[in-house]
């Protein structure tokens, strides 16, 4: 029961963090905040499915289908945001974001066309072992196996360029739940699994908030009569 409550708490935190980042995206229109908002929404969906099933195992296919897409989608969208942070002036983040979007859509379609096989313990299914089959497995790997390293490497690259230590929190926060899942799958500290997830969630959010994307300069012209007088004011949008 405690584990379930903690997972519900994690889902609630993820929604709150998503709302905060959505507000930042609305103010700045920075793509990095938009992708990170999507990531936390996927986090919320994944935690919610875990909370609903932790006491009775995965029994309903639709719950696991949502979990499949959410657990892989959160990694993919998080990695796109991290690439935007690391390479703010490049076209690479745009094309990588397109790749992640197509991979997520394909996973959602294949999850319906090739339903998962719900055999095994909650933890083994939670880790995707023997449950994700057919083309779904390929799409899942295209998101998680690629997105995971991109998150860590992107955070390291951002830190190397600007020396903002908060960027490292993104990579550390992404690794903490993975480590917890590994321990739990071996029967070590299963009850601590949601705690590690919450810690990782908070670390990632702090990394998002304090690792701000590079500011852009906007040229503004102003005149008492509403016409340009040749003078310029520079304003920073953060």
Count of residues making up the chain: 238
User: What are the φ and ψ backbone dihedral angles of 131, each rounded to 5 degrees?
Assistant: -100, -40
Q: Residue range 126-152: average pLDDT?
A: 85
CA angle 208-213-219, nearest 5°?
145
Residues 6+ apart with CB under 8 A from 141: none
pLDDT digits (tens, 9 = 90+) for 60-117: 899 999 999 999 999 999 999 989 988 888 999 999 999 999 999 999 999 999 988 8
Domain boundaries, the chain: 2-213
193, 180 in Cβ contact below 8 A? yes
Cα separation of 25 and 44, whole Å?
19
pLDDT digits (tens, 9 = 90+) for 221-238: 343 444 444 443 444 444
CATH superfamily entry for domain 2-213: Rhodopsin 7-helix transmembrane proteins (1.20.1070.10)
Who wins on pLDDT, 118 or 76?
A: 76
């Amino acid at each position: 029961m405690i584990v379930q409550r903690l997972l519900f708490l994690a889902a609630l935190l993820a929604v709150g963090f998503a709302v905060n980042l959505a507000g930042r995206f609305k103010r700045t229109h920075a793509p990095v905040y938009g992708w990170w908002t999507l990531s936390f929404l996927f986090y919320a969906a994944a935690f919610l499915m875990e909370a609903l099933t932790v006491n009775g195992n995965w029994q309903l296919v639709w719950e696991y289908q949502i979990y499949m897409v959410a657990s892989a989608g959160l990694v993919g969208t998080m990695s796109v945001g991290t690439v935007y942070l690391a390479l703010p002036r490049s076209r690479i983040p745009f094309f990588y974001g397109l790749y992640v979007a197509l991979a997520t859509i394909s996973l959602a379609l294949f999850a319906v066309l090739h339903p998962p096989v719900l055999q095994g313990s909650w933890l083994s299914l939670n880790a995707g072992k023997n449950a994700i089959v057919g083309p779904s497995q390929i799409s899942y790997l295209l998101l998680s196996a690629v997105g995971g390293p991109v998150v860590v490497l992107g955070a390291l690259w951002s830190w190397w360029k600007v020396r903002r230590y908060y960027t490292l929190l993104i990579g550390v926060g992404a690794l903490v739940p993975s480590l917890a899942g590994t321990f739990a799958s071996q029967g070590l500290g299963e009850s601590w699994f949601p705690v590690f997830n919450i810690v990782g969630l908070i670390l990632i959010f702090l990394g998002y908030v304090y690792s701000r994307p590079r500011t852009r300069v906007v040229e503004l012209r102003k005149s008492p009569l509403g016409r340009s007088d040749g003078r310029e004011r520079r304003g920073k949008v953060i």
